[in-house]
A and B are shown apart, each in its own frame.
Chain A
């Protein structure tokens, strides 16, 4: 090998390595920036516990927190993740196991398109459905329902009642639509990678096809599916664009049937205000959100 080729080899590999490293350096810069400014902000705004429970600061406050946002994010993420797994998992089984069917390939194409779809479009879709459905939904279904449920106690009105145009359930629905294709694709590839012998054995002992697919073979792929569910949850916990038109955001502890606060929405709103106390609270909220997502991500990686 000539010296020139050796040199080109090292320069070329060095260039690739440099580009590869350049792709992950911003990650450290961002995490460092968020935690340095975020922890400082949380301390200034009244300590961790106060920050996690208090109402957000108005421009004239010294202290404040993200209590309502945290509650809203947890509620909507939990609902969205449950619905996302409930629909995404069978869908993944379908496109992974029934690959010979023509319609399964159509569904697979639809899932592939939806997983890369702009999330803002999903939010607008749910908004459009909600604005069409709200009035008659309230009139025929939710008004009578909330009257029938009133003996249960006042707390039920926090969860069930006539819906506003913006509400936590619309937000959860948007998050679920984002999560479904994500779970479905990973489930599908896990099912597709099951060995044929194992599949035949499962069908041989399982009796009904349902048992073979959902009981026996599920064990073979459960690890991948749990990882998919965790990563999907981490993804929707930080989503902002779909919530802009569905949950809308709020600054108080409010019923989930009306506009609901979310951590990501508060960061989006507060970062763009000119008030330093609100910008500080945005950084604190970002640190909290990042911590939640990092924990879910690391758990998923250790398990997976």
Chain B
């Protein structure tokens, strides 16, 4: 009944918002603002409600256990949490240098004519469907990485689909998001600062380093935004991470699972078990809280210390 009200009231709400635009513009616009705030509030509330059965049964243990055993109705998401942290760590370690490289390449190295084209290519990297990244990771990147790692002395990657593969794929996907923020800051470095840097005789490389230090809050903000993307990315990760949801591992060269890929991979058979849907929603709740915290941090950093 509650859901009916939600869906049915949505339409009059939007019509009212449009109507108010003509009559009393500011109030009409405020209704649209309220809509988006309400969406986030409802989203969190909905996940709390849906996850309640398992939290009532197990308490916070559901976030601290590593077992995922549907047959015994025993669920824990810690192994998925570890997978999320590990893949994000690999992705961030690879993506941040690339994002810095993109910002410097566009602003310092490329001639003005090529900047637009290079920028478009980076933006296209962000627009490409994630499932296409997954397809490529499944048939090209995974096998390539496996033979590459195993070629190294001491390399032991038994399967092409591991946390490491997912991390590398994520790095490619999130670089443009970090790069966009850093580029934005880099372009805002005041002209007098740039002139002063060159006036004291800095080389172009030294000037680039000084400018990067000047925009360090943008770099930090870009870091958090990209981290948020990396933690939430689902389909591409689910295709290459190996889908090992039963065993806890901290070795990045083994198959694992992340929270979002756990949800995507386990959802199709979740309805057959009593507590699996609530357990998956508990995972989604965790993702939501992470998303809120990380994005809020990124927005705070970028807005607070604007140049």
Closest Cβ–Cβ distance, residue A126 to chain B (whole Å): 10
Residue B39 at the chain A interface, CB threshold 8 Å: yes
Closest Cβ–Cβ distance, residue B182 to chain A (whole Å): 11
Given the complex, which residues of A lie within 8 Å of B106, measured CB to CB?
Answer: 20
Out of A13, A103, A130, name the residue touching B109 (CB < 8 Å).
A13
CB pair B281 A124 closer than 8 Å: yes
CB pair B128 A94 closer than 8 Å: no
CB pair B135 A282 closer than 8 Å: yes
B37, B120, B129, B264, most chain A CB atoms within 10 A = B129
Count residues of B near A (Cβ-Cβ below 8 Å). Answer: 98
Closest Cβ–Cβ distance, residue A133 to chain B (whole Å): 3
Given the complex, which residues of B lie within 8 Å of A128, measured CB to CB?
Answer: 46-47, 49-50, 281
Report the nearest B residue to A18, measured CB to CB: B101
Residue B28 at the chain A interface, CB threshold 8 Å: yes
Residue B111 at the chain A interface, CB threshold 8 Å: no
CB pair B203 A6 closer than 8 Å: yes
**Number of CB contacts from chain A to chain B under 8 A:** 292
CB pair B135 A286 closer than 8 Å: yes
CB pair A268 B131 closer than 8 Å: yes
Alpha-carbon distance A11/B260, docked complex (angstroms)? 40
Residue B136 at the chain A interface, CB threshold 8 Å: yes
Out of A103, A136, A297, name the residue touching B33 (CB < 8 Å).
A103
Among B1-29, those with CB < 8 Å from A are: 1-4, 6-8, 14, 17-18, 21-22, 25-26, 28-29
Alpha-carbon distance A215/B99, docked complex (angstroms)? 39
Interface band, chain A: 35 or more
Residue B252 at the chain A interface, CB threshold 8 Å: no
Out of B33, B133, B239, name the residue touching A91 (CB < 8 Å).
B33
Closest Cβ–Cβ distance, residue A245 to chain B (whole Å): 6
Say yes or no: A120-B260 contact (C-beta < 8 A), given A29-B136, A90-B32, A113-B296.
yes
Residue A1 at the chain B interface, CB threshold 8 Å: yes
Out of B47, B280, B295, name the residue touching A117 (CB < 8 Å).
B295
CB pair B36 A111 closer than 8 Å: yes
Say yes or no: A293-B129 contact (C-beta < 8 A), given A30-B136, A95-B33, A114-B36.
yes
Residue A167 at the chain B interface, CB threshold 8 Å: no
Residue A118 at the chain B interface, CB threshold 8 Å: yes
B-contact 0/1 string along A246-258, CB 8 Å cutoff = 0000000000000
CB pair A19 B101 closer than 8 Å: yes
Closest Cβ–Cβ distance, residue B222 to chain A (whole Å): 11
Residue A194 at the chain B interface, CB threshold 8 Å: no
Alpha-carbon distance A283/B139, docked complex (angstroms)? 10
CB pair A23 B291 closer than 8 Å: no
Alpha-carbon distance A136/B124, docked complex (angstroms)? 43
Residue A141 at the chain B interface, CB threshold 8 Å: yes
Supplied contacts A27-B124, A94-B29, 15 more A-B pairs, CB within 8 Å: A12-B208, A13-B204, A20-B118, A23-B102, A23-B172, A87-B14, A129-B3, A131-B3, A133-B6, A136-B1, A137-B7, A234-B127, A240-B234, A268-B131, A271-B134
A-to-B contact residues, CB < 8 Å: 1, 5-6, 8-13, 15-24, 26-27, 29-30, 33-34, 86-87, 90-91, 93-95, 97-98, 101, 103-104, 106-107, 109-114, 116-122, 124-125, 128-134, 136-137, 140-141, 177, 180-181, 184, 208-210, 213-214, 231, 234-235, 237-241, 244-245, 264, 267-268, 271-272, 279, 282-283, 286, 289-290, 293-294, 297, 301
Q: Can you list 18 A-B contacts with CB-CB less than 8 angstroms, sorted by A residue number?
A: A8-B203, A12-B205, A19-B97, A20-B98, A23-B101, A23-B179, A24-B121, A30-B133, A113-B291, A116-B295, A119-B232, A130-B3, A136-B4, A238-B128, A264-B129, A267-B131, A267-B134, A286-B132
B-to-A contact residues, CB < 8 Å: 1-4, 6-8, 14, 17-18, 21-22, 25-26, 28-30, 32-37, 39-40, 42-43, 46-47, 49-50, 97-106, 108-109, 118, 120-122, 124-125, 127-136, 138-140, 172, 175-177, 179, 201, 203-206, 208-209, 225, 228-229, 231-235, 239, 260, 263-264, 267, 280-281, 284, 287-288, 291-292, 295-296, 298-299
